[in-house]
Amino acid sequence: MENLKEFQKKQAIDCFNKTWDYIDMTDRSAEDDLNMIHTAHASRFLWGQVGEPLNFERGEWQISKVYFLLGKGEQALYHANACLKICIDNDIKDFDLVFAYEAMANAYKLLGDSKWEDYKKKAYDGLPFIEDEGNRSYAASELDKI
């Protein structure tokens, strides 16, 4: 059983990283878009088998990001809500909470809902609580893109 868990963890990491490869592509095909969706969901599913709330939250964030990039607001919001709920329920803060708010802001903006402004403000308000300066800078640069 331990070998299965180790395999699932490796696959979860590989799928998460492969999703980032798709996210970073400047010219994705329709097939790449579909594979990006599949790898994000596969990673989150596998983390659900072997991970912890932090892994679940980051998986939901990544899925929300994928749907945001593809212009699918309802799906992006669904997973952004799941991400934020995991943060709140498990007292996850710092970088991860800021990005949960970022996901909410992006999804609401994509849907044309003015709630995006409230979530963007919550994200900015969380920046001083990110301990690592590099993470804080990166988060600020991502929030500036909303």
pTM, two decimal places: 0.96
pLDDT attached to residue 89: 98
pLDDT attached to residue 36: 98
Name residues of the chain where pLDDT drops below 70: 1
pLDDT attached to residue 123: 98
Give dist(CA 25, CA 71) in Å, integer.
16
pLDDT attached to residue 2: 78
pLDDT attached to residue 128: 97
